[in-house]
Amino acid sequence: MTSFKCGGMTLGFSWAHVLGDAFSLSQYLNLLGQIMIAPDHQPPTNSLPTLLPKLAETNKANKPNNPSSLLVEPLSVKWVEPVGDHWITANNCTMENYSFHITAQQLKAMSSKMSFKIPLFESLSAIFWQCLTRIRKGSEEPKTVTIICRNREKKGGSSTYLISNYNQTISTVQVDFSVTEADPKELAAMIMEQKKVDEKSKIEEMVKQDQGMSDLIIYGANLTFVDLGEADLYGFELKKQKPAFVNYTIDGVGDEGVILVMKGPPSGKVNDDDGDIGDEGRTVTVILPKNQIMMLKDELRSEWSIA
């Protein structure tokens, strides 16, 4: 925690991913804020103890029905040298973080250029995928990407999120054509379709067969896109104040890099011909080899007016 003379403050959190993800922390902080302002500090009805029992049900529901189909190694993982107690694998290059702040107006222009209704995460993933492909020419061209999204559990007509990183879906998109020359809409459509195919059960079975003796990575094994768009990042309230800016990053990702797509700071809605875009902009945080950051900024600026 860092306090400033102006009265503002920053809060920083760091934890092992095995303990939870961005959704877990956001929900924890939002519940904490509710508890602090509730009479007698009584927990709200949707607090942690009421959500934990759902985890066991989800684990059971996600067990594979056909174990023989798990013999094929998932495309989303990569075996690495043993890391011991360090938890973080060594990179072959220097990695760097950079955040792009994409306004609602820019999202509207992007959606218009994409020509038809595609969700923002898929649209942004396709755009960043193609721009990075133009940077990584030849054999380094990423023709396989990993998509990590949040899986909703629906009960009684409502949708809730478990406080656990288990409730993620891990999918891969693999193409046999030039991503550079492809229509971004085609890439986005493939991402939308492949999001339905979850490799998590295959990964678990592979680890089980190996008895957990080897180390592997998912984030950055392929170029990885993580959808944090539905995390309630700005729901935390302290002394009637809400966050001005929230960002997430991941340490120890593989050399292919990770791109996190999350909501940006609230700044009002933007309408298009079909109604409210329903967005306050997006923050896209990339963790990539250092020598690719500047080139990516140039590509996004020239092609999509994203700086």
Across 260-284, b (16+ Cβ under 10 Å) vs e yields bbbbbeeeeebeeeeeebebbbbbb
Cα torsion 109, 114, 119, 123: sign? negative
Per the CB < 8 A criterion, the answer to whether 97 and 285 are in contact is yes
Residue 128 within a domain: yes
Residue 299 domain boundaries: 15-304
Residue 9 within a domain: no
The whole-number pLDDT of residue 27 equals 85
Q: How many domains, the chain?
A: 1
Q: Report the DSSP beta bridge partners of residue 145.
A: 173, 223
d(CA 105, CA 268): 10
Answer yes or no: is pLDDT of 252 > 80: yes
- Residue 243 belongs to a domain with what CATH number? 3.30.559.10
| Percent of residues, the chain, with pLDDT higher than 70 | 79
Residue 7 within a domain: no
Residue 221 within a domain: yes
Mean pLDDT of all residues in 172-197: 92
200 or 145, higher pLDDT: 145
Mean pLDDT of all residues in 30-50: 66
Residue 73 within a domain: yes
The whole-number pLDDT of residue 46 equals 53
3-class secondary structure, 170? strand
Residue 6 within a domain: no
pLDDT digits (tens, 9 = 90+) for 132-169: 999 998 777 899 999 998 765 544 444 454 556 667 88
**DSSP structure class, residue 150:** E
pLDDT band at 266 (very low <50, low <70, confident <90, very high): confident
Which of 132, 129, 133, 169 minimizes the C-alpha distance to 149? 169
Cα torsion 11, 241, 102, 25: sign? positive
Where helices occur in the chain by DSSP H, the ranges are 22-37, 48-51, 53-61, 104-114, 120-135, 184-194, 200-209, 290-304
Mean pLDDT of all residues in 252-276: 77
d(CA 160, CA 282): 22
pLDDT band at 279 (very low <50, low <70, confident <90, very high): low
Answer yes or no: is pLDDT of 111 > 70: yes
pLDDT digits (tens, 9 = 90+) for 7-28: 888 989 888 877 778 888 888 8
Residue 209 within a domain: yes
Residue 1 within a domain: no
d(CA 173, CA 200): 15
Specify the pTM: 0.84
